[in-house]
Amino acid sequence: MKSNISQGDKLVRLTLGISILLLAAFTKLMWLGIIGLIFLITALLNYCPLYSIFSYSSRKYHKSPFQAKQKKKTNH
């Protein structure tokens, strides 16, 4: 399983998952609890099966801002 969830996406999923689980606990709606668990599990695994079905990834690979910048070579 290759990670396809960005850190921002993970934070949103964790927040929604916990909120929905709390709501489910107070309203005693089992189906709502299942939806909350799905959000939490996908966030903890950093993997969303729906994303992979549609070949989508919210994770973007950027160079680290802490790496030294390379100088461009000029031909004179």
Whole-angstrom distance, CA of residue 36 vs CA of residue 74 = 55
Q: Is the pLDDT of residue 65 over 60?
A: no
Q: What is the pLDDT of residues 15-54, one digit of tens each?
A: 999 999 999 999 999 999 999 999 999 999 999 999 889 9
Torsion, Cα 67 68 69 72, to 10 degrees, reads -130
pTM above 0.75, yes or no: no
Residue 54 token pair: 């549609």
Which sequence spans correspond to the domains of the chain?
A: 7-53
Residues ≥6 apart with Cβ < 8 Å to 21? 33, 36, 37, 40
